[in-house]
Structure 1
Amino acid sequence: MKLFLIVLAGLVLEVFVWIGVGDLVGSMWYVFFWFIVAFVIGMNIVRKHATGLMPQMQQMQAGQMSADPALSGNLPKILAGLLLMIPGLISDVLAVLILIPPVQNMLKATMMKVMMKRQQAMMEKMMGGMMGDMGNMGAGQGQNPFADMMRQMQDMQNQQGGVHRDSSIIDGEAREVTPEAKKIEFKDVNPK
């Protein structure tokens, strides 16, 4: 309900701004043509920056967080393109503000924090759902047997940029071994 009221207030404000700018420039046709131009610009921005976005979003929803800088760099631009496609002068001003690099960096950081929190909540919900009635049967009530795994996954997410050594990974190298070229001689087992 709260979101509906915010959208409704935004629409009413947009209409008043359209009328005010139309009166200011002398004709509503200029505003209408601007909407068409802004829509085309926004559509081109979305097309340019949305290539390859769906597989990455599907990975994120599957719980595999991608640290791809292209994804986090393209999300604000895609949002700006979508705002340009919406007919309205206020949304166009917001889109132009989003296209400014410092605002993009702020928006990227905020979006990544929100996605990390959402992924963590999804993992906790999933692990809690897997528990079912096992909490009553295990060593203690209320203990999550997946807590260590969740903690390790969180540590890995926090250290995405750096190198993380896991003690369960065996590092080594392979080399080819050539067998000695000795022939096996067969001896008669039953002499005649």
Structure 2
Amino acid sequence: MKLFLIILAGLILEVFVWIGVGDLVGSMWYVFFWFIAAFFIGMNLIRKYSAGIMPQMQQMQMGQMSADPALSNNLPKIFAGFLLLIPGLITDVLAVLIMIPGVQNAFKAAMMKAMMKRQQAMMNQMMGGMMGDMNGMGGGAQGQNPFADLMRQMQDMQNQQAGRDSTIIDGEAREVTPEAKKIEMKDVNKH
């Protein structure tokens, strides 16, 4: 209900701004032509910056955070393009403001914070469903979360990943020698 009232108030405000600007410039046709131009500019922004980021968006939605700079740099521009698609002068001004680099950085920081919070909520929901009553299922007398250390490590990794390069993989390497298998010909010639 709250969202509906906000959208309704924004729509009414947009109409009043349209009428005011139309009176100021002398004709509503100028405002109409601006809406058409803004629509095509928004389409081009979305088309240009959204190429190739859909798999990354799906990973983020599934809860796998990706600190890919291309994704975080392009999302504010895609959002600005979306705002330009909406016919309205207020949304167009917001889109132009989002295209300013300083505003983009603030937008990216807020967006990453929201994504981290969403991912943490998803993890808590997943782990809360697995926990249940651990005393009856062999979880120990204390009923402690057996995944607490794993969750803490994952959270530490996320916090570190925000400032690190996500293309570096830490791990150990060891040489493995495969066992050679011999093919026997005893079954081949019995036809």
Pairwise mapping of residues 60-139 of structure 1 onto structure 2 (< 5 A)? 60-134=60-134, 136-137=136-137, 138-139=139-140
Pairwise mapping of residues 1-192 of structure 1 onto structure 2 (< 5 A)? 1-134=1-134, 136-137=136-137, 138-140=139-141, 143-160=144-161, 161=164, 169=171, 171-172=172-173, 174=175
**Counterpart for residue 181 of structure 2:** none
- Are the aligned partners of 1:22 and 1:30 in contact in 2 as well (CA < 8 Å)? yes
**Counterpart for residue 180 of structure 1:** none
> The residue matched to 1:159 in structure 2 has which SS?
helix
Q: Distance in 2 between matches of 1:93 and 1:145?
A: 51
- Are the aligned partners of 2:134 and 2:140 in contact in 1 as well (CA < 8 Å)? no
C-alpha RMSD of matched pairs (Å): 2.1
Q: Distance in 2 between matches of 1:135 and 1:83?
A: 52
Of the structure 1 ranges 138-147 and 71-80, higher mean CA displacement relative to structure 2 is found in 138-147
**Counterpart for residue 180 of structure 2:** none
Q: In 2 relative to 1, CA 47–140 (structure 1 residues): closer, same or farther, beyond 3 Å?
A: farther
Shift of 1:57: 1.2
Q: Distance in 2 between matches of 1:165 and 1:20?
A: 57
Q: Read off the aligned partner of 1:155 and give its amino acid letter.
A: D
Q: Distance in 1 between matches of 2:176 and 2:145?
A: 43
Segments of 5+ residues of structure 1 without an aligned counterpart are 177-192
Shift of 1:131: 2.0
Q: Distance in 2 between matches of 1:45 and 1:66?
A: 22
Q: TM-score, normalised by structure 1?
A: 0.83
Give the share of equivalent positions with the same residue, in percent: 76
> The residue matched to 1:13 in structure 2 has which SS?
helix
> The residue matched to 1:120 in structure 2 has which SS?
helix
Q: Distance in 1 between matches of 2:99 and 2:39?
A: 16
Alignment: residue pair count: 173
Q: Distance in 1 between matches of 2:115 and 2:102?
A: 20
Q: Which has the larger radius of gyration?
A: 1
Segments of 5+ residues of structure 2 without an aligned counterpart are 178-191
> The residue matched to 1:139 in structure 2 has which SS?
coil
Q: TM-score, normalised by structure 2?
A: 0.84
> The residue matched to 1:134 in structure 2 has which SS?
coil
Q: Distance in 2 between matches of 1:116 and 1:162?
A: 17
Q: Distance in 1 between matches of 2:132 and 2:176?
A: 48
